[in-house]
Amino acid sequence: MEFKDLDPILHNELRLKVMAALDSLADADFVYLKKLTKATAGNLSVQITKLEEAGYIKVSRSGEGRGSHTVCRITPAGISALKRYQHALLSYFSR
Amino acid sequence: MEEFDALEVIARTKGKVEMDNVPTGQKLFPMWGWLTAVTYLLEFVLWQVFHGEWCLWLWIAIPLVGLPLMYIIIHRDHERTHIRTHESRLVLDYWIFAACVFGAGGFLFGFLGVYEVAENPLICLLIGIGAFITGEVVRFRPMIVGGLAGSGLGVVSFILQGDLWIYQILCIVVVAVVSLIIPGYLFENSLKHGI
């Protein structure tokens, strides 16, 4: 019995929460994602960078220091990856 | 993390996002409505008094005042909610498109001197269709009805040609009241009372 590989970028609870949230929205800022995921700022920042490096989300940063504003938006590659991930998971149950 | 947990994480997160999805921009409708109604009413009165073509350029005040106000309202909403939904983006995109058509049409028809033919009914239609689309997206019936009424009035105002063309301007005032001001306040009120 062959199982589809799960995307290692998405197979992480915090990154998956961020992707699921952004999949439902046009965009969301860092403050909202932090509140939603209940993650620490440092951890969230690291996971967002990983998703950005994978090309799954686009991050726009404006300002610096305390007044900085980070807005995240899912990319078409991110939408496809999340769909593939969900299909892969569902295929486990259909066997 | 187990596989079924992953699906649950996705479902739970999407559910939370849905709960956080509060409507925004409710102040935009009354703002644009009042601005449009007052400006075109003034345009109508000035035309009756002076009969000068310069009176018909008063519409430029609408984007000049409305766009900065709209930016402030949207910015404040975004600061409050921290999110933008696909629906709110769709609605905003339509209104930006309508504003572009309104501005381009205003200059084009104004410079060609054919403003009395189609410009004003077109404005009524843009407002009516916009209110209808917004009403459908936020699922608010008075806005849908107001949008349909505004669009209908826009079609009717095409008939006002020849000497009657100036009454097209009054049609815009009525459309602003019916499609923007009244549904805007009703929507704001329904949100306040959680209807």
pLDDT in tens, B66-95: 989 988 988 888 888 888 888 888 888 888
Interface membership of B13 toward A (CB under 8 Å)? yes
Taking 70 as the pLDDT cut, the residues of chain A under it are 1-4, 95
Domain ranges of chain B: 25-192
The confidence score (pLDDT) of residue B124 equals: 93
Q: pLDDT tens digits, residue range B93-125? A: 888 888 888 888 888 877 777 666 778 888 999
The confidence score (pLDDT) of residue B15 equals: 93
Q: Whose structure tokens read 């686009």?
A: A58
Helices B61-81, B28-50: crossing angle, 10 deg rounding: 170
Residue A37: burial class (beta carbons within 10 Å; 0-12, 13-18, 19+): buried
Domain ranges of chain A: 13-93
Interface membership of B64 toward A (CB under 8 Å)? no
Contact A29 B82 (CB under 8 A): yes
Buried/exposed code over B83-107 (b: 16+ C-beta within 10 A; e: otherwise)? bbbebbeebbebbeebbeebeebbe
Instruction: Tell which of B1, B4, B7, B13 to mutate to test the A interface (max A CBs under 10 Å).
Output: B13
Question: Does residue A60 sit in helix, strand or coil?
Answer: strand
CA–CA separation, B35 and B59 (whole Å): 10
The minimal CB distance from A24 to the residues B4, B14, B82 is found for B14
The confidence score (pLDDT) of residue A41 equals: 93
Contact A13 B81 (CB under 8 A): no
Contact A26 B85 (CB under 8 A): yes
* Cβ A3 vs Cβ A91: under 8 Å: yes
The yes/no answer on whether domain A13-93 falls in CATH 1.10.10.10 is yes
- How many whole angstroms from its chain centre is CA B141? 16
pLDDT band at B176 (very low <50, low <70, confident <90, very high): very high
Q: Where are the alpha helices (DSSP H) in chain A?
A: 13-24, 30-37, 41-53, 76-93
Report the first-to-last Cα separation within chain A, whole angstroms.
9
Contact B1 A11 (CB under 8 A): yes
B106 to chain A nearest CA, in Å? 32
Residue range B129-147: mean pLDDT, rounded:
93
Strands A69-74 and B83-84: unpaired
pLDDT band at B56 (very low <50, low <70, confident <90, very high): confident
Report residue B191: phi and psi, to 5°: -70, -40
* Cβ B36 vs Cβ B62: under 8 Å: yes
Query: Which helix (H) or strand (E) is B146 found in, with range?
Result: helix B141-157
Task: List CB contacts (< 8 A) between B9 and chain A.
Answer: 13, 16-17, 20
Measuring CA to CA, which residue among A44, A47, A48, A23 is closest to residue A35?
Answer: A44
Adjacent-strand bridge partners of A71: A29, A60
